[in-house]
Amino acid sequence: MEALIASAVGLMTAAGIYLILRLRTFPVIVGLSMLTYAVNVFIFASGRLTVGLPPILDSTASGYTDPLTQALVLTAIVISFGMTAVIVMMALGAFLSTGSDRIDDAAEDRAETGGRAE
């Protein structure tokens, strides 16, 4: 089970980094979401993956599940949703002002202008 979770976190991280390095805004937004999902799964898995145990220690249970990691993941989900909404609005504003969703690269700008600063 741990190998499956570790490989899923690794694949989501690799896909997220690949998408962030693209030169369009939509893949960057999806890549950031993939990275936040990978971090959430990592944090959730670090709290011991147990099935059927209560999140609160009581006298009848032989063990418990750590509720701190669940609270951290829930908070991270809310924060990532807000961050994604802000990034989508920034990308939409940039698209409406320029007519393209391309992310400009400074090296390409210098090559197009012949090295002059404008």
Q: Which domains does the chain have, with CATH numbers?
A: 2-51+65-113 (1.10.287)
- Mean pLDDT score, 88-113: 78
DSSP state, 118?
A: -
Average pLDDT of the residues in 42-59 = 75
How many CA atoms lie within 13 Å of 112's alpha carbon, on the beta-carbon side?
A: 7
| d(C-alpha 12, C-alpha 5), whole Å | 11
DSSP 53: -
Residue 71's pLDDT is 87
Tell me the pTM.
0.73
